[in-house]
Amino acid sequence: MTTFLVTGSTGQVGRRFVPRLAQWTGPGAVRVLVRHEEQARAATAAGLQAVVGDLREPADRARALEGADVVVHLAAGRRGMPDEEAFAVNRDATVALGRDAAGAGVRRFVHTSTNLVYGRRLGRPAVEDDPLAPDALWGAYAASKAAAEHGLRAFGDRLPLVVVRPAFVYGEGDPHLADSLHWAGRWPSHQRLSVVHHADVARALWGAAVTPGVEGRSYNVADDAPVTAWDLHGINDVPRPESWTAAPGDTPQADAVVLPKGAGPADPWEGQVSTAAIRRELGWRPLYPSVWTARDAGAL
């Protein structure tokens, strides 16, 4: 039996991914690293293996990795946390886990990154081979995620790495779409946000974990219809503002771009990514091609 170790199982992505993974793999195949005993008890009651520990502690990482065949690394410092903490979790602990996983001989290490690792003004959707150059305006979350990717790549063939870069994740009760209006409410009405549903992120992670021969690859994950600031108000049943100019000094708290006051997007592809690679190599297609599809299905 293949044993899957999942970090970050209690986060927004993890709590939706882990039950699916347990269905796809069978009883006892999924192990989670959690911070608290009550979380471990809940995981065990759900038929999972559970290890209580801290990702930043070497002994806890070693216990979690013992006998693991595949690692799906979802744990990340939340947006808005102090910069040093974001780097401690998103870069340092991630690279340490990758080093330990390489030493433990895991068969696959799936790292969950973000579409914010790309630079701006490409004049087209970002593709996986583009340089990782997150804009400083996007803060420590994006910078630490890019640094983690660089750190994991440094292990070379010792770490059978696959990187998944989701767009803005939403759905199944996740408050992300509503929270987006904290900054998207100040966007120009036509500015677009690249999004992807939790169900489709889960399927992308599964493909990255089990598809033979894709070690070393990275995959963008996004739906087929980026949503505009205008539509985000409609989806959230919030009145649209009279003015659609961005406020100066705004900083995004999620996978998004904020523009200077009065500016439209310098590039209509700003924040957009190509999903050609994951479609071609993993056979992935979004179950929810747009937020409208998800809304109609009652999956928001």
Rounded to 5°, angle at Cα 87 from 83 and 89: 120
How many angstroms separate the Cα of 45 from the Cα of each of 27, 38, 41? Answer: 12, 11, 6
Q: Which residue has the higher pLDDT, 242 or 87?
A: 87
Q: pLDDT category, 119, cuts 50, 70, 90?
A: confident
Reduce the DSSP state of residue 175 to 3 states and report it.
Answer: coil
Whole-number pLDDT of residue 121: 87
Is the pLDDT higher at 248 or at 73? 73
Interstrand relation of 227-228 and 192-193 (parallel, antiparallel or unpaired): antiparallel
Is residue 206 within 8 A of residue 18, CB to CB? The reply is: no
Which pLDDT band holds residue 243 (cuts at 50, 70, 90)? low
Pairing of strands 161-166, 49-52: unpaired
The answer to whether the CB of 3 falls within 8 A of the CB of 70 is: yes
Single-letter amino acid code for the residue at 220 = N
Please write the tens of the pLDDT for every residue from 15-26. 999 999 999 998
Domains and CATH numbers, the chain: 4-171+195-223+272-289 (3.40.50.720)
The partner residues of 192 in beta bridges, in order of sequence, read: 228
Are 162 and 188 contacting, i.e. CB atoms less than 8 angstroms apart? Answer: no
**Mean pLDDT on 179-197:** 91
Q: What is the pLDDT of residue 250?
A: 43
Report the SS3 class of residue 152.
helix
Q: Is the pLDDT of residue 155 over 90?
A: yes
At 79 the pLDDT is 67
Half-sphere exposure of 275 (CA within 13 A, CB side): 23
Look at the chain and count its residues: 300
Q: What's the whole-number mean pLDDT along residues 211-237? A: 96
pLDDT of 22 reads 98
- The amino acid occupying position 274 is S
The C-alpha R_g of the chain, in whole angstroms, comes to 19
Alpha carbon distance 168, 223 (integer Å):
10
